[in-house]
Amino acid sequence: MTDRKITSEDLYKIKTPADPRISPDGSQIVYTVSSIIEKTHTYQSHLHVINRNTQAMEQWTFGENKNHSPRWSSGGNLAFISDRSGTPQAYVMKAGGGEGRQLTFSSHGVSNPLWIDEDRLLFLTYLPENDSYENPKKKPEYPVPLEVTQIRYKSDRDGFIRGRKSRLFQLDLSTGETRELVSCEGDAESPSVSAGQLAYVHTPPEIPGTGLVSDIHIKNLKTGADKNITGGRGIFSKPQFSPDGRCLAFFGHEKEYKSATLQKLWLYNTEHETLQCLTGEWDMYAGDAAVSDSLYGAVSPDVQWTADSQGFYLIVTDRGSTGVYYGSIEGLMYPVRVEEEHVSGLAMHPSEHWGVLSISTPISPSELFEADFRTGEIVKLTHLNQQWLEGTLISAPQAFEAEAEDGWSIHGWLMKPAVMEEGKKYPLILQIHGGPHMMYANTYFHEFQVLASQGYAILYVNPRGSHGYGQDFVNLNRGDYGGSDYKDLMTAVDAALEDFSFVDQGRLGVTGGSYGGFMTNWIVGHTNRFKAAVTQRSISNWLSFYGVSDIGTFFTEWEVGGTMPGDAMKLWDHSPLKYADEIDTPLLILHSEKDYRCPIEQAEQLYILLKRKGKNVKFIRFPEQNHELSRSGHPLLRVERLNAITAWFNEHV
């Protein structure tokens, strides 16, 4: 029996297998393993291969760098991306492994390799429109002003855009020649090829009043004819041609409920030029909407076609879990694996109906499994986290539901403290996810386990606005931020206090990030029942958020239901800053300095106002980090963040 508790620093022990790919002959499975190098506090990822005939497992790349995005050619060669030269470049190696040969030499780096055939490889690079791949302009040796002419001029992922965009190139391996395949204003991404056809996602510059748009285009590589098949009506992604090239499947929606619209599966017939939504009557989210803090290196999978071009497999989100479904081109959809787990990766053998899944549970980070969907048999392939887990106390959550005042069911989990004594009461921390249109799930969450090891019960639920519970439910909080969603959370707290007698109702804490940070700010401005709060990458003022966030204009309009300046009073009414006088709860504010999604001025305003009023508040700024600090930020700062959260609750709860 072990008594070792999980610590913040155990983040360094977690290994994440992801992005599995099956070789064309089905004999090998390549995947990435991502982890943290303890001595340098940096991330690394390497390619590993399983030989299905011998069950042998080999590591194919080495060194303190990142190797990822493996892609098999039809002849069995393996392309991948590596930053071993200093910037991410495409490499190729033989099917049996060996030294990789560098293929690209872009000063800006490349990504997303995709084979056209054995001699041609597609890749993306992020370049200004007037730069060439072969001879990009030299970076200036002195500071230059940033000229801004577009609404979207910065990105939480990429920083200041400076005229750059994702551009799609083709490399001829025999000659080394490259040429750009798409000429468009805006980004060209996510390519798929079949018999002289190129499908890709086109994201044009934001048009005032319309918000985000991303379309699926099909280009004839011989004639150059380019067709927009989705017509500028919505947000679409991940196109994949069927093996016979007659159909193109992709995800997306037409913004019927703006950012709260369920993602659906679409099918375009290239012969008849008809577009059909296959899951239009299906009240579930097509894809993975689960949130986790322990999936560094994970890749959201495309639709997986079968060899006969009559069906496909995909991941589906439903009621706190993600599972695998099979669908046909006629619109038949049925589950083939639905368990209380988080399937974050999927690769299918096209003709034999078996696949490789990345699966996480609340008590285990991701591992790879091979599943036969004809028999239901599943076999664990990797045991990367087994040794660490065997020596560690893990808390398993218990699912529960509470009924909201208007009858909706609020689904969630209560995680007990890792160590409990009979008859003793324990403090409880309410966790609130971001999005808001995401979902807590049956997945491993390191932050929850760290707090549980400190003696806290953890309550995490999916209030209205969360995915996984149907279109009506996910749309309920739009225009009502701080209304019934706040009541849902308080209802869940009340239900937990009633159902779990070991919870000390006088020792409650609350925390959350992004939308969860907004809601944390809102809660402490509307009730004093929590003894301490930690707000992370939060929103405090919708009036300024409108103009400073990289999604501010359309997100504020879609989610809160107001614009500037016409709806200024409505935006102010929904701003936690308005209620700062009512905040008496000790509040820790955590924010990243290069967060362009929820810019740090949101934290600065809240901190200065509370400090000026003599409130119990503390502000921690994380340098050089963006909105993704808790998931992919600098490892040392991720640990500092976790330690700051536990220290604040230990002091005040």
Angle at 328 between CA 358 and CA 117, to 5 degrees: 65
DSSP state of 559: I
Angle at 109 between CA 631 and CA 216, to 5 degrees: 75
Cβ contacts of residue 480 below 8 Å, gap of 6+? none
Q: Is 192 a catalytic residue?
A: no
Please name the residue that has the structure tokens 């879990």: 321
Angle at 189 between CA 165 and CA 297, to 5 degrees: 100
Q: Is 627 a catalytic residue?
A: yes
User: Which member of 514, 540, 549, 592 is catalytic?
Assistant: 514
Count CB-CB contacts under 10 A for residue 590. Answer: 25
Nearest-angstrom CA–CA distance, 506 and 504: 5
Residue 363 phi, psi dihedral angles, 5° rounding:
-115, 10
| Nearest to 353, CA basis, from 337, 340, 336, 372 | 372
| Nearest to 432, CA basis, from 505, 504, 482 | 482
- Contact, 77 vs 92, CB < 8 A? yes
What Cα–Cα distance (Å) separates residue 573 from each residue in 143, 511, 577, 631?
41, 22, 9, 31
Nearest-angstrom CA–CA distance, 191 and 173: 18
- Contact, 391 vs 420, CB < 8 A? no
> What are the percentages of helix, strand and coil residues in the chain, rounded to 5?
20, 35, 45
Q: By three-state DSSP, how is residue 516 classified?
A: helix
User: Which member of 433, 574, 627, 652 is catalytic?
Assistant: 627
Q: List active site positions.
A: 514, 627
